[in-house]
Amino acid sequence: MTVPNTSTPRTDWTRDEIAALFDLPFADLMWQAQGVHRAYHDANTVQLSTLLSIKTGGCAEDCGYCSQSAHSDSGLKAGKLMDTEAVVAAAREAAAGGSDRFCMGAAWRSPKERDMPALLDMVSRVKALGLETCMTLGMLEGDQAERLKTAGLDYYNHNLDTSPEYYGEVITTRTYADRLDTLEKVRAAGMSVCCGGIMGMGETRTDRVGFIHALATLPAHPESVPINALVPIAGTVLGDMLKDVPPAVDDVEFVRTVAVARITMPGSIVRLSAGRESMSQSTQALCFLAGANSIFTGDRLLTTGNAGDDADGRLFATLGLTPMRSAEPERIAAE
């Protein structure tokens, strides 16, 4: 099959075209991804982001990968929404450590109205520190999205997780259509979309093709595309099911997924997210070569471990990478 032209962004990708990219010889795929990456991004800069759990555990959703689900038996106790001062202090520490982006995640099906004032205050105060802001709070109503935008939220994260066909194997308490509906409300409010998924949940390559297809054929590409590797956690459905099973996605297949995301969504920031703590420097280097240009730094991602600032500093020095400075806060301020 002829490999499609990727010189301009498209939202009309077919599954056959995306499958053809996955099937390319690895060197050819990497060469193409690197060409697209250099056409749209600085090849040697990577954005440093920090992710904070502002409300942990007790989520009503049954996501099979998540230790924060009330349906899991992970031993994680539900907590209350963090105090705003503590969130701002964590954001200030993240900025001092070199992070350019601060993401706040709450384990909710959707935010309750009683929590909105505190959330809006968090956004405005973190934004005032000069950080790019992102939140993930579950499903949103249109007016909630509009108020978050007004408070200064740059991005809203709401992942599709996997392909439409495999989705029901992972989550049953909300539908793919529910997720797409929230993305539409985020767009309508004028915020940027952060939307990606998780590799290694037992899906096939066909599902990975379907996942990329779902993202790349949205009315507009997500400005931010996090690509996660499953971190199996005891007590979760997938953690228990896959604990004695070889990884469903090896390192090369994971890098292929990053490369196909880069080619099909050339202007997006592709974020190398959860699971990075178990990747070698070589695998991470291949991900950057494939087009990933953001990482979460620090010692934790919500409730799972992460590589840590010292390890990331050594990695950047080894690879000759420098931190990216986002223009998002300046762009929003200019509107």
Active site residue 134: yes
Residue of 63, 174, 195, 287 marked active site: 63
Active site residue 66: yes
Residue of 101, 271, 276, 287 marked active site: 271
Could you tell me the end-to-end alpha-carbon distance of the chain, in angstroms, rounded to an integer?
A: 44
Sequence-ordered strand ranges (E) for 222-310: 224-229, 269-272, 294-296, 300-301, 304-305
Written as six digits, the tokens of 44 are: 């040697």
Residue with tokens 């953690």: 239
Contact 103, 125 (CB under 8 A): no
Active site residue 271: yes
In this structure, the strands spanning 300-301 and 304-305 are antiparallel
Active site residue 103: yes
Residue 105: helix, strand or coil by DSSP?
strand
Active site residue 63: yes
Written as six digits, the tokens of 271 are: 């974020």
Per DSSP, 132 falls in state E
Active site residue 287: no
Residue of 101, 103, 179, 276 marked active site: 103
Residue of 101, 125, 134, 195 marked active site: 134
φ, ψ (nearest 5 deg) of residue 93: -65, -40
Distances (CA, A) of 203 to 1, 206, 258: 24, 8, 16
Residue of 59, 125, 256, 276 marked active site: 59
Residue of 101, 194, 195, 287 marked active site: 194
Task: Determine which helix (DSSP H) or strand (DSSP E) holds 48, and give its type and residue range.
Answer: strand 45-55
Catalytic annotation, residues? 59, 63, 66, 103, 134, 194, 271
